[in-house]
Structure 1
């Protein structure tokens, strides 16, 4: 018997897991498969509604009593780097950027492992082997790029030194930074900030209005740095809005802070996938 993919995406909810951002809390995700001929349109549409991509899945936090995770994006046309960010740009001007197809390499994985072991040794990705890493990079049904940053060869070496990597999706209205990692020995170079600043420049030259940064979580030290970028918007209460004063956004829990799953799904705006008429 032949089976076909459902016309409308089906949404599911994960079981509660310990929250990676706020101690003592549980996280739960609303997710749907990303596949078929309409994958790019679905990724574009749901990214505008606070979803993120992980391989062949789109997800959005949907915790039972917490709505602290807020999708964040930079308005490219309005962005101006501050003094510290200008220093970061100058400090890393020696790096060469290369954008390639989403293909995993041993050099990438070696840098990835050093980054995890130094920065996130107790995180959910700590045990990721090279095959799982390759799946993270290569299993994408949408337009994606691997953006590599490398330094000139060290004395006596022939190859450039891979310094930072970002897996990036190209949306119809911007760049979505899916995952980035960098040389942990260069902590003073602010490479994480530099990758974001450079993506703003890439988007500017491509005429794309936004750079999507993932989630900003008030009260989380891991995610607090995102509030330091100019022209930052957050997706809150069903709409994009300027972040304003970050201190005005609370990470408090409340049993009525999150709508039931059925209501959340009913409000998701799906792309029109009907074939166009000639």
Structure 2
């Protein structure tokens, strides 16, 4: 790296740090606390279930706090890049910002699935610890030797969890919050970035279109004369054809994408905090752990 390039990158970092340090970046919320271990360990769980529940709460807290840090960086960089020309901003974005924005854009889908995962584990173990004839089996578990576990869709996993928490009617409001994470509106506003990044070609960030040529399978049509002598394309029942055409997905606007992602972070955080309250109420039904003798 030559001296001019190094000086340019240093200038960008200095602008970023000025904004990062001014105390006016989102999210403004404090980081989530790690204050759940003592509460979980107050109760008598079956086998090592308490350690499982506490450990998974810890990991979700790590993930949400990491997302918050990445959002703070993204916001500061967006502010900093306003002071650079298009070419310079593109170079700085490529060097410092794209990885951070990419991380944030994947988080809503990840957070929703992870919350379902930890809630399924916790309430399954809670019901086992409460007894009452509840079996240690989850939908998707293999039932015969040599059978592989079933990989359930998101919809099936959430339905499974709804059945698990059915004894706690207050869980319904938690599901309302869960379904606001990675919802249709967010996916539309980010051009389905997460799914395209995982399975196809993601939209670019700030500059450049992708997917100019599109391929679709559509219903076949034929020109048919109308009573007035004109012609119209009319569908051919039961026949499909492949259609190629021009399309294209525009780049994500970095500030609009950040704002949409920030809203998703706040929904995920509210959902996690609600989950902790739900779990606390359910754990209160467990017997307290007896102190060790001696």
TM, length-normalised to structure 2: 0.18
Which structure has the highest helix share of the two?
2
Structure with higher RCO (Cα < 8 A, 6+ apart): 1
Determine which structure has more spread, i.e. the larger CA radius of gyration: 2
